[in-house]
Amino acid sequence: MKTYDIVIVGGGPAGLAAAASAKKAGIDSILILERDKELGGILNQCIHNGFGLHTFKEELTGPEYAGRFIDVVKELGIEYLLNTMVMDISGDKIVTAMNRTDGMFQVQAKAVILAMGCRERSRGALNIPGYRPAGIFSAGTAQRLVNMEGYMPGREVVILGSGDIGLIMARRMTLEGAKVKVVAELMPYSGGLKRNIVQCLNDYGIPLKLSHTVVDIRGKERLEGITLAQVDEKGKPIPGTEEDYTCDTLLLSVGLIPENELSRGMGVEMDSVTSGPVVNESLETSIPGVFACGNVLHVHDLVDYVSEEAGRAGVNAAKFVKGELSEGGKDIPLIATSGARYTVPRHINVDKMDDLLTVRFRVGAVFKDSYISVYYNDERIMHRKKQVMAPGEMEEIILQKEKLAAYPDLQSITVKIESE
């Protein structure tokens, strides 16, 4: 069996950034396994601009952003296999994969970086009543069809869910000549970025109906129409508010779920809120030497943060291989509560952390003029005002090693949202 220092599962933005940073940290034996026919992952179908403002200080399209990292990976001579599906990773890091050239094969990794990304929630997860005709797509599937395969899914479109992919596809379908009649969102706020609401809906006069959902789907062979209804604060449709729309296409943009079958298979501890692995300050999962980054860890809002996070995972995997990721020290749990839904990482070892550690989280509702507060034990040590926080956007706090190390008897760090 071939042995690699680091095997990276996934050649999207997370896998590429992790590979480049691990290589720069001195690891030569790296293998990226990618199931698609090219590197770049989901960025290949995200042809819109707006990527890389933080990383490159310019607005790139998805393929351009991916292209920069692909170029780096190629320049660094990092080995990768395309059209290769990872079937299983064992607890002792034997990776089983298959492709048409090599058939089924196994490689032994000293460290593994999980970078499989996420996938879309489907109609089945929503329990929408009605028929099951053709013409119902996840927004990302439609995006791939339009932007990569050259097919238009339909001409009269309703979009359920105001996640970013749904908003982007509202604009894209409009530009390609389709009529997007409405975007319906179950929640009283959009899950998408502000700029996407402005530039994808407002620019084209596409109405966004908050607190609305699809309650009926009509058409036996092909979709013929849907019914929208307003929902109450519990998300239940309000009788009498139904409105019929004729349409041949319904796009679903109703959330992303980290794709963790492999992680679960190898017995990594999972976080029920993020649906990603529980990780420590080094982005290391409950299995030593197995790291996670990008959307497989928690769904990100901006790819810039994926690249940054994956870069850290790569460096830490390199340290692990070289035996520099020190053991020992005490793990301190991070607790997310009162509006903060989760934190990544979920526990930190002060001895092992860098001087500064970025902790990312999301809020569970829209908060205005509220504070992000951080408590060491019961003492509030950070209190930062934010004008607006929304579930669609990630928040962050930065912890300082010096301050943590100086704090006596630190048992827990709590992150919460406070009104004052």
Partner 1 sequence: MEKKELICIGCPMGCPITVTLDNGAIVEVTGNTCPRGKSYAEKEVTNPTRIVTSTVRVEGGERPLVSVKTKEDVPKDKIFACMEEINAAVAKAPIKIGDVILENVAGTGIPVVATKADAAC
Say whether residue 34 binds partner 1 (CB under 8 A): no
d(CA 327, CA 282): 12
d(CA 144, CA 157): 16
- Looking at 41, 63, 277, 345, which residue binds partner 1 (CB under 8 A)? 63
Say whether residue 358 binds partner 1 (CB under 8 A): no
- Looking at 28, 58, 59, 396, which residue binds partner 1 (CB under 8 A)? 59
d(CA 233, CA 255): 19
- Per CB under 8 A, which region of 198-206, 275-283, 321-329, 412-420 contacts partner 1? 198-206
Looking at beta carbons only, is 43 or 78 nearer to partner 1?
A: 43
- By DSSP bridging, strand 79-81 and strand 136-138 are unpaired
Residue 206 Cα distances to 84, 163, 184, 247, 291, angstroms: 40, 15, 11, 15, 42
Say whether residue 194 binds partner 1 (CB under 8 A): yes
Looking at beta carbons only, is 124 or 150 nearer to partner 1?
A: 150
d(CA 372, CA 361): 11
Strand order across the beta sheet in which 413-418 lies: 347-349, 331-337, 413-418, 367-376, 379-389
Shortest separation between residue 173's beta carbon and partner 1, angstroms: 12
- Per CB under 8 A, which region of 92-100, 148-156, 245-253, 397-405 contacts partner 1? 148-156
d(CA 340, CA 361): 7
- Looking at 92, 203, 232, 269, which residue binds partner 1 (CB under 8 A)? 203
Strand runs labelled E in 346-394: 347-349, 356-361, 367-376, 379-389
User: In the numeric block, which tokens belong to residue 334?
Assistant: 């991070």
Name residues contacting partner 1, limited to 300-319 (CB under 8 A).
301
- Looking at 24, 29, 36, 67, which residue binds partner 1 (CB under 8 A)? 67
- Looking at 146, 184, 251, 363, which residue binds partner 1 (CB under 8 A)? 146
Say whether residue 197 binds partner 1 (CB under 8 A): yes
Say whether residue 193 binds partner 1 (CB under 8 A): yes
Chain residues in the site for partner 1 (CB under 8 A): 44, 47-49, 59-64, 67, 146-150, 175-176, 193-195, 197-199, 202-203, 301, 387-388, 393
